[in-house]
Amino acid sequence: MQVKAIRPERDALEIKFPRVEGYRVELPLHETTYKWSGGNAVTVFDSTVVRVDTDAGLVGWGEACPLGPAYLPAYAAGVRAGLAELAPHLLGQNPLEPAKLNRRMDAALKGHPYVKTAVDVACWDLLGKHANLPVCELLGGRYGDDFHLYRAISQESPDAMAANVAGYRAEGYRRFQLKVGGDPDTDIQRIRAVAAVMQPGDRLVADANTGWRQHEAVRVVRAVRDIDVYIEQPCLTYEECLNVRRATDHPFVLDEVVDNIGMLVRGHADRAMDVVNLKISKLGGLTRIRQARDLCVELGVAMTLEDSWGGDIVTAAIAHLAHSCPPEFLFSSTDFNSYVTVSIADGAPHRKNGRLAAPTAPGLGVTPRTDVLGDPVLVVG
């Protein structure tokens, strides 16, 4: 018996971009200020929401929100400036071919993955709507009912950080990312104070966000060698982090220095990490981070899957990515929309007892609130 392939009519696949819009939205924090290494702090996040229209009537949405200008090589106004440069090259292209579209974006704008992220996520939103499937099913399938989250603990005094951990545990969190990377002596106290309130099943990560010098990081890891704690991104460069890794038997997490597949392969070959933190906008969107995630699964490397920051649309994208990751490789994820006071989309996922689930509606499953977004600050097409 001959089996004939069945495929949609070609016209159904010939969907093109006629228009791209960008919106600016401010996201204040519930805790008023978020602090991390180097004295850095943010009180209001500046997020860019992207709308992509198609000539078939489908609309896709994406979001990019850098963690201020001093964290990664990314800044909020740069998203919009980059989109103004990039968007004309998208007109007439098929958004249902995200890998092909990524190649075109790379040809039109070298680097700047954070600029391309919102466009790529919007294309996955469109692809899901076109296929009538949630994005997580397109990214590999939905594992289980939900997945666990971590809570970032803003840099404060040791006692204040310990109290914050206790408060968030009451909300269901069991994984805590402690913001250190300041004075080593104070950081040792922070780690010890928080470790003292840990309970069985909790996981503690001391995340320096590149803030220590190599000699400081070595001092800290040796001073807390008796504590069950993961050490995350202690220093600015990969080489410094690798040297610290070799000076400790603590589980080790790399984050900021792993910004492409090549660095991921290098880190695995050097045994530089036990866990890797992969951020959607750091790699350039869902297309690229899916490649990295699937490589980690093949290599046996656990992951934190998240983004730099964002609101409801970013949280939905994170949820779809994390929910489609085999759970034995998902170390943690996060729900950024719970940190901010402004909701920008209906249908977004919200945590329940420290856990999150991806929406079940087609695409990202969210409907942006136009009354909150206001008028576009960028229109191309």
179 classed as catalytic = yes
User: Hunting for tokens 């997945």 — which residue is that?
Assistant: 147
16 classed as catalytic = no
**Rg, the chain, Cα only:** 21
Q: In percent, how much of the chain has pLDDT > 90? A: 94
pLDDT in tens, 42-99: 999 999 999 999 998 999 999 999 999 999 999 999 999 999 999 999 999 999 999 9
pLDDT in tens, 256-289: 999 999 999 999 999 999 999 999 999 999 999 9
Q: Single out the catalytic residue among 116, 129, 179, 282.
A: 179
Q: Give me 133's structure tokens.
A: 């499937």
Q: Residue 182 carries which side chain, given as an amino acid letter?
A: G
Give the pLDDT confidence score for residue 16 in this predicted structure. Answer: 87
pLDDT in tens, 135-160: 999 999 999 999 999 999 999 999 99
Q: Single out the catalytic residue among 110, 279, 282, 352.
A: 279
Q: How confident is the model at residue 15 (pLDDT cuts 50, 70, 90)?
A: confident
pTM, to two decimals: 0.94
Give the pLDDT confidence score for residue 240 in this predicted structure. Answer: 98
Q: Give me 308's structure tokens.
A: 């730099």
What is d(CA 52, CA 123) in angstroms, rounded to the nearest whole number? 8
Q: Residue 157 carries which side chain, given as an amino acid letter?
A: S
Distances (CA, A) of 77 to 23, 64, 66, 279, 341: 11, 11, 10, 19, 21
